[in-house]
A and B are shown apart, each in its own frame.
Chain A
Amino acid sequence: MELTRRKLLAIGASTFAIASITGASAYASLTDDAVAAFTGGAATGEGAITITAPEIAENGNTVPVGVDAPGAVAITLFADGNPTPAVATFKFGPLSASRSASTRIRLATTQNVVAVAKMEDGSFQMAKANVKVTIGGCGG
């Protein structure tokens, strides 16, 4: 096979794509396990929960993230690219008004932030937001 410049570029691009896919999913199964532990294996719906996160975070040390799920009793945040996926769990009491909260979190790399809400009827809602991180926040 004659290796032209064009073919070489194509090969390079495809190997890079494969490498980046495997890199991103290295911790993803950990997150799936953590979500399953929180929901007890129940199926998760979508739509009744919104997650507010920046598309691009310059500094992974403080990424502002907000969640809002009307009718939720608890919301757990996960970050699927961090060494440990759990981020925080919010449990709402009787005097909580809007079942929403925001905080600032650390993200090691570009990844999905996952929010899972337990609703008052016992069902679960899930939302994801992809955040591109320029400088990671784990000090590794």
Chain B
Amino acid sequence: MASGVKPRVKVPKTAAAGETITIKTLISHPMESGQRKDGDGNAIPRSIINRFTTEFNGENVIDVTLEPAISTNPYFQFEAVVPEAGDFKFTWYDDDGSVYEETKSIKIG
């Protein structure tokens, strides 16, 4: 279990209907690649976040499959269309089965 995992997401508070907004997400996670060795020469087992999804009112925005080549504290920036007021739901899936969630609401105005 990776400790101290904390998602951080930047979404504008308001947008015009149909407007394109930029979303930035970052989650603190060591993303242990499985390639590194400890002091005794034993391989450190892989422990990464393997999937990240974003939904807006239940409709998919982006679905990312992560491999060990993604850096520590995985960061993603992408663009989304906002057709109406609602909630963005961000979900990260860890190798160990943990699921981290974050929700941001956006208003039209």
| Residues on A facing B (Cβ under 8 Å) | 61-63, 66, 79, 82-84, 86-98, 100-107, 137-140
Checking B55, B69, B76, B80 against A87 with a beta-carbon cut-off of 8 angstroms, the contacting residue is B69
A95 close to B69 (CB less than 8 A) = no
CB distance B35 to A91 under 8 Å? Answer: no
Which residues of chain B come closer than 8 Å to A88, judged between CB atoms?
64-67, 69-70
Q: Give Cα distance in the complex from A33 to B40, angstroms.
A: 34
Is B16 interfacial (CB-CB < 8 Å)? no
Cα-based distance from A92 to B78 in the complex (angstroms): 10
A64 CA to B77 CA, complexed, in Å:
11
A96, A102, A138: the one contacting B33 at CB < 8 Å is A138
Knowing A93-B61, A95-B59 touch, does A106 contact B69 (C-beta < 8 A)?
yes
What residues make up the interface of B, taking CB atoms closer than 8 Å to A? Answer: 20-21, 33, 35-37, 55-56, 59-72, 74-81, 83
Across-interface contacts of A105 in B (CB, < 8 A): 69-71
Given A84-B67, A84-B68, CB of A96 within 8 Å of CB of B61: yes
Q: Which residues of A contact B20 (CB under 8 A)?
A: 97-98
Q: Which residues of A contact B33 (CB under 8 A)?
A: 106, 138-139
A46–B69 CA distance with the chains assembled, in angstroms? 25
**Closest CB in chain B relative to A137 CB, distance in Å:** 8
Using Cβ atoms and an 8 Å threshold, which residues of chain A touch B62? 90-93, 96, 101
A109 nearest CB across to chain B (Å): 12
Give me 20 A-to-B residue pairs in the complex whose CB atoms sit less than 8 angstroms apart, sorted by A's number: A63-B71, A79-B69, A88-B66, A94-B59, A95-B56, A95-B60, A96-B81, A97-B21, A97-B80, A101-B64, A102-B76, A103-B64, A103-B75, A105-B71, A106-B69, A106-B70, A138-B33, A138-B36, A139-B33, A140-B36
CB distance from A78 to the nearest CB of B (A): 9
Q: How far is the CA of A90 from the CA of B81 in the complex (A)?
A: 17
Bound CA–CA A105/B21 (angstroms) = 24
Closest residue of B by beta carbon distance from A61 = B71
Pair B35/A140 contact, Cβ less than 8 Å = yes
Q: A88-B67, A105-B69, A105-B70 are in contact. Are A83 and B60 (CB under 8 A)?
A: no
Q: Evaluate contact between A98 and B79: CB separation under 8 angstroms.
A: yes
> Which one of B33, B64, B69 has the highest number of Cβ atoms from chain A below 10 Å of its Cβ?
B69
